[in-house]
Amino acid sequence: MHGYFMDCRLHAKLKAALEPFAFEEYRKQKVKERLEAKRTMRTRIRNSSKVNVNPSFHQQLQDTAEEGTSAGASKKRKEAADKAKRILEDQRFQAGSGPR
C-alpha cells in the first residue's frame, strides 16, 4: 500500500470539509431516481387486443359496416358502410396499434 494509514472517521471529516455540497447533490440525485422509478411504475402495458382509439366509436363503425353489407340495404346505408370500412382500415383503429 502507498501512503499512510488514516482513521476512517478523520478521512470522512476531511472529505466533508473539502466537498461541502456533496450531500445536497447526493440528495437531489436520490430524489430524481425515486421520481424516475415512480414514472416507470405508472406506465402500463396496454392490452394488444383493444383498440387505442375510442372503443365505442369503433364498435359503432363495425355495426355500420355490417348493416351495409346485408341484403336489401338502402343506398345511404351502403355508402355509410363503405365510409365506415375505409375508416376501420386506418392504422389507428387496428388492434394493438398506437402509442404505448
Of 95, 91, 93, nearest to 50 by C-alpha is 95
In terms of pTM, does the model score above 0.75? Answer: no
Ramachandran bin of 45, using left for φ above 0, alpha for ψ from -120 to 50, beta for the remaining angles:
beta
pLDDT of residue 5: 87
| 25 found inside a domain | yes
Per-residue pLDDT tens digits for 6-34 = 899 998 888 888 888 888 899 999 999 99
Residue type, 73: A
| 87 found inside a domain | yes
**Mean pLDDT value across residues 75-83:** 87
60 and 36 in one domain?
A: no
Residue 67's domain spans which residues?
A: 55-93
| 50 found inside a domain | no
